[in-house]
Amino acid sequence: MRVTLEEATPEDAAAIARLRNDVADRLTRQHGKGHWSYASSEYGILSGMKRSRVYVAWHDGRIIATLTLQTKKPWAIDRSYFADVKTPVYLLSMAVDVESQGQGIGRQCVEQARAIAERWPADAIFLDAYDAKAGAGEFYRKCGFEEVGRVTYRGTPLIYFQLLL
């Protein structure tokens, strides 16, 4: 299945929150309670749209993937671990519908996020992932991201990844 990211609208917020909550519930059932267990709300999604760009991928009239990009450094990122670039973009969150996982949709979303970042223009994509069984570290490695550090931020073990553009 081929998907295309498009910028989300406020009308998409409830569906994005449902998708993120379904993914969080699945991770919690599989790996126990953790930082991935947080609940998303429509209000939280709308608030995020004010400071970030939220993208969605549609299939058969429903959102099957979402990711968020922004140019402002998130609170959990320590820039000293990353390459010294002029204009990084931060990938804040990504989720693929539980029914659609394992079909290459996440990889397509990362490829499209890269293209979006290059058009901004950005020099790199930086992100953090949970350093736990529920984390996506292996996924990001397979997508070409380089691990640049491991940290614990407010009790949460994280892996820092970068993709130089």
How would you list the strands of the sheet with 5-7, edge to edge?
5-7, 53-59, 62-70, 88-96, 124-130, 156-164, 146-153
C-alpha 63/C-alpha 46 separation (Å) is 16
pLDDT in tens, 93-107: 999 999 999 999 999
Name the pLDDT band for 34 (thresholds 50, 70, 90).
confident
Q: Read off the CATH number of the domain in which 65 is found.
A: 3.40.630.30
pLDDT in tens, 48-92: 999 999 999 999 999 999 999 999 999 889 999 999 999 999 999
Instruction: State the total domains in the chain.
Output: 1
Q: Which domain holds residue 37?
A: 5-164
